[in-house]
Structure 1
């Protein structure tokens, strides 16, 4: 559970209420002057105050984003920044590190593939953002040296980190195992968070006078991927997937950029841009821009273009079920839509882990090398 998640804040509030009730309930029993009674009163008061201050602190941090993660709060984010050259001729993707998969022989890229830590510099948006790129073993094998590979952009939710896609949701390992089992094609995965202008949640919108996040994901990133890796340049070569905010972005990209992304998947996606203290004013009164950020309204206006969509929800436990059904009903003939509807789930990693492998198999069937 992330530092800025609603779940953590709710738990802190509930803990404070329960401790207050416990203090009132047990106070008569602890009214004596024995060391046990005094220790009990002090303990209850301290625990109640701690829960109260934690709830207030979490609420303030959620509103103003002083810290984006637990690691940031406890000073564990010590990685140095990377200097990126924006001069003419500089590469849009710069590799700054590599890591292996934890599989037998994984130290050899031709056996286990490779995860590259990169920095992406957007030519049009002027946004620079870190990412991780998973390259499958086949990418390094001599017999595939001239082959192109399908690729998918993978976004986490807000305010998640790209590392969550590797450590929490296991995208590279899942893709490795499914490809090895012959259930999906070897695929390049470009893993990022949607927060490319931190700490602001820009909702993949080109904000007037602000970050051009939509331009970054829709134009700069595909160009950078195509120029840096053996990935085709047609929509059937590139997909876009994500969970929560990332899922919303994925669906929006599929609707507005069918000439770039041939298949998109939104896991627990919502269907219009959030507007809260973390986003600020996204549209500055521009009604057309606000309408563009509404997925269901944009889908209604979209011309069929052979785009494949996948949406997910749960019959109980998720708040997006009704809108997910509207999205499914709104996809016109000429496009294709699929869904994963669990009996029960939630807006959490456990639910998305149950959806990732079938989603990878699905998108592999929609994309080509």
Structure 2
């Protein structure tokens, strides 16, 4: 049964109600730690005479634990469904490894460089999305990263114009969508997630927003650890997976181009940190980034691998990349956050930016939740449409 599915949520509620009924029945029969004594009579207001027994106490303790366990299960499932933290049991329990190997990635010559490298094309096989939270017009493929050694699912949604005969010779721009930590590829979709396609599709049809191909790769690759979207020697090549393997698959299977002017990346929370990091670190791959409630210092995420490495902690900081770039990168950033959550980091980047780098910041007041970021999808993509226009 799907962890994020409605049937499982209903099951947790049923079990919770059943546990309360069981506890009431147990205590109502006078089994709260006492055993009947032959000839015993009720005294006072329903108290039962008898002798306390270990078995009776154990039974009482068990019913209390059962009620607490089922109550926690209901709350966890509700929070998980609302924020799409774990899409399935494998993600929750960490029973599936997404790191096949950790090779040393070949030299990075940018998006066009990988396209000209002469490596065999990635022939992707697509199927219906694994998560019920993802709309059926989204495709899913299981990608084995040739350069990164990472295996993971990638979701792809094509805009309404993509299959229109009038656009059959047009190439479409791409936005990679990155989840937070913990988070799954399904978080950007569905009513309880970012609801990205339902929000953007009508605006793409009406020409108010650029018809982007939306690509959602797996971001959480290790159990109980945030990769920081970096290449961590000996542990994971997350940066290579996101910036090279995934784009190459898209280039080989969809109508788009290898020009960085046609590529952007977006994320929230830890995914926002990744979005800014990838764009500023790879201006030869991305033209823009959307970052909602992100942070610069990797230690903003307690489980960050990069925060634990002195060198990576420095080089995985978007502010460091911006201030130490040989020339200001041709990258535009749209960053949101509240005064105590993301906005100071956005301000620091804005103050450090020099043309052609630009930083647009938007102040929010909501908590660090999906309900705060969901309404930002439309305004951020309208901004992005001004940076990356529709194909002509």
Aligned length, in residue pairs: 301
Closer, same or farther in 2 for the Cα pair 1:90/1:340, shift >3 Å?
same
| Counterpart contact for 1:236–1:262, Cα < 8 Å | yes
Pick the aligned partner of 1:149 from 168, 172, 177: 172
| Counterpart contact for 1:93–1:119, Cα < 8 Å | no
| Counterpart contact for 1:157–1:193, Cα < 8 Å | no
Pick the aligned partner of 1:97 from 107, 127, 131: 127
Pick the aligned partner of 1:359 from 380, 383, 388: 380
Look up the match of 2:153: 130
| Counterpart contact for 2:180–2:270, Cα < 8 Å | yes
Closer, same or farther in 2 for the Cα pair 1:347/1:147, shift >3 Å?
same
Question: How far apart are 1:327 and its partner, in Å?
Answer: 1.9
Closer, same or farther in 2 for the Cα pair 1:96/1:255, shift >3 Å?
same
**C-alpha distance in 1, partners of 2:91/2:248?**
37
1:340-367 per-position Cα deviation (integer Å, ceiling 9, x unaligned) = 212x111111101111111111112212
Look up the match of 1:304: 328
Closer, same or farther in 2 for the Cα pair 1:239/1:89, shift >3 Å?
closer
Look up the match of 2:15: none
Q: How does 1:156-305 map to 2 (within 5 A)?
A: 156-167=179-190, 168-198=193-223, 200-274=225-299, 278-279=303-304, 281-282=305-306, 285=309, 287-302=310-325, 303-305=327-329
1:46-79 per-position Cα deviation (integer Å, ceiling 9, x unaligned) = 6589659988xx99xxxxxxxx7385299999x9
**C-alpha distance in 1, partners of 2:205/2:358?**
27
1:117-170 per-position Cα deviation (integer Å, ceiling 9, x unaligned) = 112222211111102101012111111111000110001111111112111111
**C-alpha distance in 1, partners of 2:359/2:92?**
44
**C-alpha distance in 1, partners of 2:143/2:284?**
22
| Counterpart contact for 1:92–1:122, Cα < 8 Å | no
1:279-303 per-position Cα deviation (integer Å, ceiling 9, x unaligned) = 4x54775x43321111222221122
- TM-score, normalised by the number of residues in structure 2: 0.67
186-195 or 45-54, larger mean C-alpha shift: 45-54
Mind listing any 5+ residue stretches in structure 2 that lack a counterpart? 5-43, 49-58, 77-84, 99-117, 130-134
Closer, same or farther in 2 for the Cα pair 1:267/1:275, shift >3 Å?
closer
- TM-score, normalised by the number of residues in structure 1: 0.71
**C-alpha distance in 2, partners of 1:349/1:171?**
12
Q: How does 1:22-61 map to 2 (within 5 A)?
A: 34=47, 51=68
| Counterpart contact for 1:273–1:293, Cα < 8 Å | yes
Look up the match of 2:9: none
Look up the match of 1:117: 140
SS at 1:231's partner residue? coil
Larger Rg: 2
Provide the alpha-carbon RMSD of the alignment: 3.8
Question: How far apart are 1:329 and its partner, in Å?
Answer: 1.4
Look up the match of 2:344: 322
Closer, same or farther in 2 for the Cα pair 1:164/1:93, shift >3 Å?
farther
SS at 1:94's partner residue? coil
| Counterpart contact for 2:333–2:359, Cα < 8 Å | yes
